[in-house]
Amino acid sequence: MSEDGPMSREQEIAEGLARVQGRIQAAATAAGRDPADVTLVVVTKFFPAADVRLLASLGVTDVGENRHQEAVAKAAQVAEEPAADVRWHFIGGLQSNKAAAVAGYADVVSSIDRSKLLAPLARGAAQRGRDLDVLLQVSLDPPGAAGRSGCDPAELAALADAAEATEHLRLRGLMAVAPLGEDPAAAFDRLAAIHDGFRAAHPEADWLSAGMSGDLEAAIERGATHVRVGHAVLGPRPQIK
Ligand SMILES: *Cc1c(COP(=O)(O)O)cnc(C)c1O
């Protein structure tokens, strides 16, 4: 960056963060929305707890993780004194035998795609003595697509009713990922329509988590309240050990 040598990790993250915050601001303004209505969730998967601490010191309030094993260890490290205060969003595929454990550290579980997850999540939340915010993940892939994650839009209403009826879970809204190889604007158009229908039945559940490093503008234009951004803030992900 300068004659002072390579950037520190803190400078690197601060620059990535400023760039992404600028993009969020511009996209929200262009869409006639208040940038403060869009929450940045920095996806810290594969990055160390030290980066989470740096993010917190730079004002980041929300981080996302997609693998239980990694997330539980990292959350414990970040909670060590001096603890950094961040909200943990679990955004990955969830196994029902891990769900109660995820509720032990996650503040938000964003990837509920089947009703089988609800009881163990509720049990984990009850054991922790607090309610858990949950989002339902809806699939934007064509039916039957390989590697599809999220529930079928046709099954969403029943899943939402089941989530809302579950004690210790607070149904907050929807989450989705734009399919690879499709124009994200078209995918997020479908999502916005799904979210409208969903909110007619669940008016309080107004969160919409959509948009990542490559497509956050398209998501914000279509109403995203949460964007999940990894490499645009933190740089290329390290290799899995
Ligand atoms: C990894 C991940 C992200 C962030 O991806 P980037 O392209 O690095 O911004 C967002 N959402 C989910 C579900 C992820 O797994």
Residue 230 C-alpha from the chain's centroid: 10
End-to-end Cα distance, the chain: 29
DSSP category for residue 43: E
What does the alpha-carbon distance between residue 238 and residue 198 come to, in Å, rounded to a whole number? Answer: 37
The protein residue with its alpha carbon nearest to ligand 1, atom 13, reads: 91
Q: Which atom of ligand 1 is nearest to the CA of 231?
A: 8
pTM, two decimals, is 0.96
Residues of the chain below pLDDT 70: 1-4, 240-241
What does the alpha-carbon distance between residue 218 and residue 241 come to, in Å, rounded to a whole number? Answer: 33
Question: Which tokens sit at 5?
Answer: 């040598």
What does the alpha-carbon distance between residue 197 and residue 153 come to, in Å, rounded to a whole number? Answer: 10
Three-state secondary structure call for residue 207: strand
Residue 67 identity (one-letter amino acid): R
Question: Which tokens sit at 120?
Answer: 């163990």
Question: Which tokens sit at 41?
Answer: 């969730």
Q: Determine how β-strand 169-175 pairs with β-strand 62-65.
A: unpaired
pLDDT at 3: 58
Q: How far is the CA of 212 from the centre of ligand 1 (A)?
A: 6
pLDDT at 142: 82
Query: Is any ligand 1 atom within 6 A of the Cβ of residue 213?
Result: yes
Query: Is any ligand 1 atom within 6 A of the Cβ of residue 86?
Result: no
pLDDT at 76: 97
What does the alpha-carbon distance between residue 105 and residue 109 come to, in Å, rounded to a whole number? Answer: 10
What does the alpha-carbon distance between residue 140 and residue 148 come to, in Å, rounded to a whole number? Answer: 8
